[in-house]
Amino acid sequence: MRWFAWSLMIVGAMTLGCSEQPEETIPAVTPSSSGVSGDHDHDGHDHGAEGDHADHDHGDHEHGDHEHGDAGGEQGEAEEGEANAEESLPTDESASVAPANVIRFVADKRLSVPNMSCPYSCWPTVQETLAAQPGVEGVQLAEQPAGTPEGQITERVVELKLNGDFDLKAAIAALGAVDFKAEAVN
């Protein structure tokens, strides 16, 4: 008898409950650019977890620590308008997936920095040190080979754009002062 009951429930579930695909109920949200500059840097401050709200929709959530306008009916109408405005924006998923086009300059001088191993602390230190040298207009990391994992530097070469008198020995000495060995490549 139990076998018959289980069989009947399985057949019923397969014919009645599994015939339709579930409908997507999560609205597509695209980040808006209102109030955001092109480089996303607002007077030098960063957006930590508490300041960056691009990952959620204010129209569907109430936040006790945010002011959304006057209390009462106007708040609900404003939130509804924001939610509808975000839902009506065209979505272009390829824009968020495609990497940004980086404009690179032609290097006047290249330096090999063999102990520069990471892009998070090593590279910024090397970049700031070289950018502070007289005669340096620009500093960039050499283009990394395709397939280089994120967070690693395999081509440990720094490229310099020069605009005046540049002292190579002083630049190498400045890198040595921050514990980076360097030598000229070209």
All residues at 6 or more sequence positions from 132 whose CB lies less than 8 Å from its CB, including other chains: 174
Which pair of structure tokens corresponds to residue 36?
């955001």
Q: pTM for this structure?
A: 0.46
Residue-wise pLDDT for 88-132, tens only, equals 444 444 444 445 566 777 878 999 999 998 899 999 999 999 999
Q: Which residue matches tokens 């949200």?
A: 29
- The structural domains of the chain, with segments of one domain joined by +, span 115-184
All residues at 6 or more sequence positions from 105 whose CB lies less than 8 Å from its CB, including other chains: 138, 140, 159, 161
